[in-house]
Amino acid sequence: MELLSHDILIVGGGGAGLRAAIAIGEENPKLSVGVISKVYPMRSHTVSAEGGAAAVIQPNDSLENHIYDTVSGADWLADQDAVEAFVKEAPEEMIRLEHWGCPWSREPDGSVAVRPFGGMKIERTWFASDKTGFHMLHALFQNSLRYENVTRYDEWFATRLLTHDGRCQGVAALELRTGQIRAVAGKGTILCTGGAGKIFPFTTNAAIKTGDGMALAYRAGVPIKDMEFVQYHPTGLPGTGILITEASRGEGGILLNKDGKRYLQDYDLGQPLDVSDANHPRKLTMELGPRDRLSQAFELERQKGGTLQGEYGDYVHLDISHMGQKKIDKKLPFVRELCKNYAGIDPVSELIPVRPVIHYVMGGVDTDIQAATSLPGLYAAGECACVSINGANRLGSNSLTELLVFGRRAAQAAVRFHGETGDIATSEIMAQGEAEQTRIRERFFKPSGGKETISGIRAELQSAMEDGAGIYRTDESLRTACNKVRELQERFERIELADHSLTFNTELTTAIELENMLDVAESLVHSALARTESRGSHQRTDFPDRDDESFLKHSLAYRTEGGDPRIEYKDVVITSLPPGDRVYGSK
C-alpha cells in the first residue's frame, strides 16, 4: 500500500472544511493540505442552507445582544466563553466572505443587508436571497481553488481514524473510483463531516448526512457531546422534508392551524399582530420564537386536534401570500420554486403545508474552544462538532457563521499542533490502513449467509428514532429506542451486499454510512435516556422541568466495546449570564 501524506488533513469539503483549508493557505502556504470528501465539495450539505448567517452589524445591535440571544436560545447549555468568541469573530468572518465574492443581498447604499430571524432580538442575519448556504459554499469552494497547497480527494470516503502513540496521525479512506482503501497521513486531522439528520425519517438533511465524522471519533474513543439535543425545524414540506426557510417567517410569514388561527398564541409565544401592522413580524414573538418552542407548539396543537391530516401525516399551514408576488420573488424566490416543484402550490396565492422535520444535531464531537478534541491531533468543526455554542437549541442563522469561525479556529489549532508534534509513525499507519482494507473486504464482501438489507435496517432505525426520540420523549420511549438500536446493530452484522464491484460501489458506501448512523443513534438515545430533565429541544414528558441542579451539564457519550455507551458529564461554562428563564412574546 502506498502512503499518501500531507501536513494537515481535512475530512469533509463543506463550509467548515473549505474555510479550514483556506485558513491554512493563509496561515502558511507551505503546509500541504489534503481535503478528503465523500462528495465533490460543492455537493456538501452547506449548499442547502437557505435563510442566512448571523453576525452583528447594525449600529443598534451589540455583541452582548447576540451573546444573550444565543445563550438563552440554547436554554443555557451553551458554553459562554465559546459563544463570546463566536459572536466576536462572526462579523469579521462575514466580511471576509464578502471579500471572497459571496453575493450578499444589499441595501440601496451598497452595504450588506440583514433580516430578522427566530430568537434574535435585532436583525443580524446576513443573507444572499434565500440561497445563503449555496452562495457561501460556492464562494468558499471557488476561492479555495486558488491555493496550490490544497490537494482535494473528491469522492474519497474516510472510514477510520489512524491513531498511534496516543494521537491521530491520519485516516483510512475508500477511493470510490477504484474501491481501494488508502492510508492518508497527516499530523493534524480536522473533521468537518456535518450532521446526522438521516437517522430520522423526515428531515431537511441531504442523503449524505449520516454522522460519519461523529462515528469515526466515537470509535476512536473520543466522546460525543450533548447528542440528545436534536433540532426539529418547524417548517418542512411533509413527505420530502424539504426546508421552507425560517426567513419566510422573518419576512412576515404566519403559521395557521386547520381553522386558520395563528395557534402559536396559545403556547406562550405572545400575541399576534396583524400582518398589515407596521411592527409585524415582532421579534422574539409568535412566528419569530425559537425553533424548539415552535416545533413543540405544533405537537401540542396536533394533540389538541388543531392540525390537518394528509398523506404524509399531520401538518399546518404557512402563509406568505400577504407579502405579494414582488416581495416573494425578491426575498424568497427559492421558497416559491420549491413549493411549486415539490408541493404543487404557488405560495403567492396558496397556503404552504408544513410540519416539523429534523434539521440539525446540536451535539457532536466534543471539542474545546480551539476546536480540539481529547485525542491529540484531532480537531472538529461545524455540525459534526459540539463546541458548544448551540447548547440545547440552536438559533437559526448561527450555524452558517459557526462553520466559518470554528473552521478557521480548527485550522489555526492544527497548524500550531503540526509545528509542535513529532513525526508520523509511517509503518504503523500503513499497517492500520491495510488492516482497514481487509476489514472492509471481509466485513462486506464475504457471504454472511444473512438476509438483512440496508434499506430494511435503515427504515427501522429511522422509525425507531422518530417514535422514541422525537419532539417529546419518555423513559419508556427511549428504552424502547435503545433496545431497538442494539437489535439493529446486531442484525447489521448479517447484511449481505449484492454488489462486489470495486468501481464506485454505492451499495458499499451506503452500508458504511448505515454503520455510522447506528453508532450515532446509539450515542443519541442513551444520552437522552440519561438526561432526566427537559431543556430546549430535549423534552421529557416524565421530567417536564429544567433541572439546573443536576443537569446544567454537557453529557459525554463514550463508546464501550459491545455494551451500552458510558455517559459522563461536564460543567457548562458560565461567564456572565447566570441561568435564567427563556422569555418569548413579552409585551
Partner 1 sequence: MAASDTAKKTVSLEVFRYRPDQEDEPTFQTYEVPYKEDWVVLDALNYVKDTLDGTLSYRWSCRMGVCGSCGMMVNGEPKLTCSAFLRDYYPNPIRIEPLTYFPVIRDLIINMDDFMNKLTDVQAWLQPKEEKPVSEGEYLQTPAELAHYKQYTMCINCMLCYSACPVYGRHPSFMGPAAIALAQRYNLDSRDGAADQRAEVIFTHDGIWGCTFVGDCSRVCPKHVDPAGAIQQAKVTATQDWYKSLLMPKQK
Does position 342 interact with partner 1 (CB under 8 A)? The reply is: yes
Q: Residue 89 interacts with partner 1 (CB under 8 A)? A: no
Interaction between residue 11 and partner 1 (CB under 8 A): no
Is the CB of 340 or the CB of 418 nearer to partner 1?
A: 340
Q: Which is nearer to partner 1, 129 or 373 (CB)?
A: 129
11: β partners: 36, 191
Calpha distance 317→242 (Å, rounded): 15
Which part of the chain contacts partner 1 (CB under 8 A), choosing from 235-243, 372-380, 417-425, 519-527? Answer: 235-243
Beta bridge partners, 231, equal: 360
Respond yes or no on whether the N-terminal peptide bond of residue 447 is cis (omega within 30° of 0).
Answer: no
Q: How far apart are CA 223 and CA 380, in angstroms?
A: 12
Cα atoms in the Cβ-side hemisphere of radius 13 Å centred on 76: 20
Residues touching partner 1, count (CB under 8 A)? 63
* Identity of the residue, 279 or 455, whose beta carbon is nearer to partner 1 in the bound complex: 455
Beta strand extents in 267-377 (DSSP E only) = 308-310, 313-319, 352-361, 364-366
In the complex with partner 1, the residue whose CB is nearer, 136 or 222, is 136
49, 137, 176, 184 from 144: Cα distances, Å = 20, 10, 23, 21
In the numeric block, the cell 438476509 is attached to: 451
In the region spanning residues 435 to 494, those forming contacts with partner 1, defined by CB under 8 A, are 453-455
CB 580 within 8 A of CB 72: yes
Instruction: Name the one range near partner 1 by CB under 8 A: 204-212, 248-256, 354-362, 554-562.
Output: 204-212
Query: Is 583 among the residues that bind partner 1 (CB under 8 A)?
Result: no
Q: Report the relative pairing of strands 230-236 and 566-571 from DSSP bridges.
A: unpaired
Grid coordinates given for 287: 412566528
C-alpha distances out from residue 528 to 191, 216, 272, 367, Å: 24, 21, 34, 20
Would you say 40 or 463 has its CB closer to partner 1? 40
Q: Give least dist CB 201 to partner 1, A.
A: 14
Active site (catalytic) residues:
233, 249
552 CB neighbour count, 10 Å cutoff: 18
Sole residue written with cell 396559545: 266
Among 106, 304, 446, 570, binds partner 1 (CB under 8 A): 106
Residue number, 106 or 479, with CB nearest to partner 1? 106
Residue 118 CA: distances (Å) to CA of 292, 385, 479, 515, 585: 10, 23, 33, 35, 12
Residue whose CB is less far from partner 1, 502 or 530? 502
**C-beta of 454: minimal distance to partner 1 in Å?**
7
Q: What three-state secondary structure class fits 246?
A: coil
Binding flags for partner 1, 395-424, as an x/- string (CB under 8 A): ------------------------------
* Among 216-224, 337-345, 479-487, 569-577, the segment contacting partner 1 (CB under 8 A): 337-345
- Amino acid sitting at position 4: L
Element containing residue 88 per DSSP (H, E): helix 80-99
Shortest Å distance, C-beta 89 to partner 1: 11
Q: Does 203 bind partner 1 (CB under 8 A)?
A: no
Q: Tell me the window of 141-149, 249-257, 369-377, 572-580 that interacts with partner 1 (CB under 8 A).
A: 141-149
- Segment contacting partner 1 by CB under 8 A, of 70-78, 128-136, 258-266, 545-553: 128-136
Among 154, 175, 460, 564, binds partner 1 (CB under 8 A): 154
Determine if 22 is a binding residue for partner 1 (CB under 8 A).
no
Which residue do the cell numbers 425545524 mark?
233
Phi, then psi, of 556 in degrees rounded to 5: -125, 120
- Residue 349 found at the interface with partner 1 (CB under 8 A): no
Residue 65 CA to residue 71 CA, distance in Å, equals 10
Nearer to partner 1, 37 or 321 (CB): 37
In the set 33, 114, 174, 206, which binds partner 1 (CB under 8 A)? 206
The minimum distance between CB 103 and partner 1, in angstroms, equals: 5
Q: Does position 551 bind partner 1 by CB under 8 A?
A: no
CB count in 10 Å sphere of residue 134: 18
Alpha-carbon Rg for the chain in angstroms:
23
Distances (CA, A) of 156 to 5, 11, 379: 15, 9, 19
Stretch that binds partner 1, among 41-49, 215-223, 277-285, 540-548 (CB under 8 A): 41-49
Contacts of 367 (CB under 8 A, 6+ apart): 373, 379, 380, 381, 385, 386, 387
Q: Which residues bind partner 1 (CB under 8 A)?
A: 39-40, 42-45, 47-48, 92, 95-96, 98-101, 103-112, 131, 134-135, 138-139, 142-143, 145-146, 154, 177, 206-208, 239-240, 242-243, 311, 334, 337-338, 341-342, 344, 453-455, 497-499, 501-507
